Amino acid sequence: MIKLLKNAQVYAPACLGKKDVLVVGDKICRIDDSIAGYEGLPEVEVFDLSRKKLLPGYIDMHVHICGGGGEQGFSSRVPASRLSIFFQNGITSCVGLLGTDGITRSVEDLVAKARALTEEGMTVYTLTSCYQYPPKTMTGSIEKDIVMLTPMIGVKVAVSDHRSSNPDGKDLIAIGVQARRAGMISGTAGLVTMHMGSGKGRLNPLFDALENSDLPLKHFLPTHMLRCPELIEDGIRLVRMGGYMDCTAGSDETEVVERAKQLYDLLHTEGVTSENVTMSSDAFGSQPKFDSRGECIGYTYASPKYLHRTVKLLVEMGMPLEEVIKLLTSTPAKMIAKEGIKGCIAPGADADLLVLDENLDINGLFAKGKTAMLNGELFIKGRFEE
C-alpha cells in the first residue's frame, strides 16, 4: 500500500517546513515540497495534513512490557502492557525490560511479549536480565542472549539502590564487555541500561568502570537520573565526558510538572543537550515510595501518557519542538543503533510517523506504514483488546 501525506509541517526531527511525504509499504520513500501524480490511483491513500505537524514516532527506552512491581506482595504485580496504550500516546517503538522481580517475571516471558507486540504492529526490542547480578538470562550468558534472541539488544542491571545487588566497577566492566562483544557479533547496540536508585554510590561504579577499562561510553545508559540532585550532578559529569543519560517522566500530574522543570534546567546546563539525553516513561513499572527506613509507604505505576505531556510542557517553557522531540526520537535511535531507520523522517527510514494538531495534541499515528490512529480514532489494537 502507498500513502501520500500532503502539506504537513515536517519535523525530521529538524524542522523541514511544509512537505509531502511518500510512504511505500513500511518505509518512507520520498520527501519533497510537492509530490504529484499519485492522487486518484486505486492503491494510493492520500492524507491532507494541512495545519498539522508530522514527527517521527516516539521511541520509549524503558518499558515494563510484561508489567513490573511486586514490592508489596503478589497482588501488587502490575498488569502487562497493551498495544493501544502505546499508539494512543505516540509510541511506535520501545525497549522492554524486567525490573525488581526476576523470579515471577522471566526473560522468556519478556521475549514472548516483545514478539507479540511486534506482531500486532509496533517495534519492540528487549534487554536481558533484571535488577540482579550475576545476571539472570535465558541461555546462560548475556552474550548468548543478545546474539541469539531476535529482539535482544542489551542487558539490564540495577545500581546504587537498596533493591540492587550493588555491582561495583569490576562488575560493570564484566557486564559491559559481554554486551559490547555481543553487540559487535549481532549488529545490535550492546546496551547496558542501569537502573539508578538514590543510594550513596550514585554513578561511582560506572565512573570506576570507565576509568579502569577501554569500554566506550555509548554502551552505558543510566536511567531514572532525575531521582535526586546528586544523581543529576553525576549525570551532568557523565554527559560532559561524552556519555548519555536517561530521564524518567513523572508518574502523576504533579510529578510530571516537576520532572519537566528539572529536565528543562538540565538541558540548559552547559555541556548538556538533547543529543546526549533521552526520556522514557518506565511505563507499567511500579512507582513505590519508601521512607527513610526503606519501608514501602505508597504505590502506583507509571503510564506512557506522560511522555507527550512532558513534550508539551517543555515547549510551553520555551524550548523549540525540534529540540524537545530529539529526547524521544533521534537520540534514542542512536542508543539502540537504529540511526536512519528509527527516530527520523528520511528516505529509507521506517514509516513510524506521529501527527500533532495545532495545539500539539496527538491526532494520528502511522506505525510501520499502517494507519494506527487518525483524527483521534484508533484503528489498530492488540488481538485481545475490545
Cα–Cα distance, 163 to 131 (Å, whole number): 8
State the Cα–Cα distance between residues 222 and 158, nearest whole angstrom. 9
101 is catalytic: no
H/E element, 85: helix 83-88
Taking the CA atoms of residue 160, residue 165, residue 166 and residue 168 in that order, the dihedral angle to the nearest 10 degrees is: -130
CA 251 to CA 260: how far, in whole Å? 12
Tell whether the torsion through CA atoms of 270, 226, 132 and 122 is positive or negative.
Answer: negative
129 secondary structure, DSSP code: -
Cell 536512519 -> residue: 340
Q: At residue 346, what are phi and psi to the nearest 5 degrees?
A: -160, 155
CB-based contact 67:99 (threshold 8 Å): no
CA 152 vs. chain centroid, Å, equals: 14
CB 62 within 8 A of CB 193: yes
Cα-flanking dihedrals φ and ψ of residue 145, to 5°? -60, -45
Name the residue among 111, 97, 95 with its Cα closest to residue 61.
95
Closest CA to 342 of 70, 4, 59: 59
Cell numbers 514472548 correspond to what residue? 112
Cβ count near 169 (within 10 Å)? 17
Which residue of the set 282, 350, 357, 361 is catalytic? 282
Angstrom distances, CA of residue 217 to CA of 180, 329, 359: 11, 20, 38
Q: Given CA atoms 234, 238, 239, 243 in this order, what sign does their dihedral have?
A: negative
Mind telling me the catalytic residues? 282
